[in-house]
Amino acid sequence: MKTTYSIIGGMAGSSMDGLDLSHVIFKKENAEWNYQLGKCETIPYDKGIYDALKKAETLSQSEKETLDVQFGAWIGERINEFSSDFESIDLVGVHGHTVIHQPVNKISWQLGRGDVIAKTINLPTVTEFRIEDILHGGQGAPLVPFGDFTLFREYDACLNLGGIANISVRNNQTAWDICPCNQVLNFFAKRFGHPYDHNGEFASQGALDRNFYSSISQIDYFKQPPPKSLPNNFISTDILGTTDPKDGLYTYCKIVSEHVANSVSKEPPGRMLITGGGALNSFLIKTIKNELNGWEIKVPEPKVINFKESLIFAFLALKRVRNEINVLATVTGASKDTSSGVIHLP
């Protein structure tokens, strides 16, 4: 098998800020994989795509299937534009937009048809990374931890503050979705006419809303042990609309921070890597640091902050085409480790 791969990874995250694309060179040296992260770009959704994805959950089955094809074609076109700088690409790995995630019903559907992408870009394409694990009794999520444990070996925990906050803990190779993160913070920021709360400026002007704090704390999910995973739009706007937006931002930053601290409360303090859009929110990071005792926090360069997930989906695609494990049962609760993802040939 090859020991060097040139791969494009794509991620349509739950924050809905666009399609993240990364070009990554992977090399296997001394039985370990290393990466070189090259060109990266977030391509914003045009209004038509954004509006369609926003209401995707409410569409009929046939409308979802139509959007699945349309979004696949859109992703393929964006990858073609992105990849024009490179002489050769071995394959592409794409995580589409999650419209349904119901592991108990053996369903997880990411919009962005893989066969359409593959034909549009004329390259082997891996999508649908969750379903194989779900069929073996797993949550099909989170998927990033395999990349955390393999590519970011120097950290004891990797925290991703994306639309949903999730964590990977190296000690026992477990991981789970902690709580919604930027999905909620962005909801409040948009009430000020901003797509997000830059540096947590609005949050820093707020105060604790005890009623809002209590209503969130009572949600059953937060009392469940891992493995566990969250669907998009988990917290209803009915709950979010009960508080002043500045107080909502302040309070929810505290909620996220407490749940992060609880997630590692039984672990010996070590090194924690924080990535995802929330890593750029200085107020949120300060609040998390205040809750964590003894942990060394590392916020890396912006490219890794913003594109670690698309980087890892490139790696998961690599492992899939080699028919090697890329999803861990200790993370998802499945009956066994799997090599997950559907390979689409052009």
pLDDT at 246: 98
**How does pLDDT run across 291-333, given as a tens digit for each residue?**
998 999 999 999 999 999 999 999 999 999 999 999 999 999 9
Tell me what the mean pLDDT of segment 272-299 comes to: 96
> 12 by DSSP, 3-state: which?
strand
Tell me what the mean pLDDT of segment 27-55 comes to: 96
How, if at all, do strands 32-43 and 97-102 pair?
unpaired
**What's 240's DSSP letter?**
H
Residue 15 has pLDDT above 80, yes or no: no
**226/169 Cα distance (integer angstroms):** 12
Nearest partner of 315 among 5, 20, 18, 3, judged by Cα: 5
**113/116 Cα distance (integer angstroms):** 5
277 touches 285 (CB < 8 A)? no
- What the block records as the tokens of 73 is 């074609």
pLDDT at 79: 98
pLDDT at 188: 96
pLDDT at 236: 84
pLDDT at 197: 97
**How does pLDDT run across 122-167, given as a tens digit for each residue?**
999 999 999 999 999 999 988 999 999 999 999 999 999 998 999 9
**How does pLDDT run across 114-127, given as a tens digit for each residue?**
999 999 999 999 99
Residue 234 has pLDDT above 80, yes or no: yes
Residue 232 has pLDDT above 90, yes or no: no
Which structural domains are found in the chain, ordered by start?
Answer: 4-138+339-344 (3.30.420.40), 145-303 (3.30.420.40)
Tell me what the mean pLDDT of segment 237-249 comes to: 92
Angle between helices 47-54 and 61-82 (to 10 degrees): 140
Tell me what the mean pLDDT of segment 232-259 comes to: 92
Give the count of alpha carbons within 13 A of 229, CB side only: 27
| Beta strands per DSSP E along the chain | 4-12, 19-29, 32-43, 91-95, 97-102, 107-111, 125-127, 157-161, 164-169, 174-180, 271-275, 296-298, 342-344
**240/258 Cα distance (integer angstroms):** 18
pLDDT over 70 for what percent of the chain?
A: 100
Residue 195 has pLDDT above 90, yes or no: yes
**How does pLDDT run across 97-114, given as a tens digit for each residue?**
999 999 999 999 999 999
**273/288 Cα distance (integer angstroms):** 12
Residue 224 has pLDDT above 90, yes or no: yes
| Average pLDDT of the residues of the chain | 95
| Beta strands per DSSP E along 269-315 | 271-275, 296-298
Residue 219 has pLDDT above 90, yes or no: yes
Give the pLDDT band (50/70/90) at residue 87. Answer: confident
Nearest partner of 209 among 255, 168, 174, 163, judged by Cα: 255
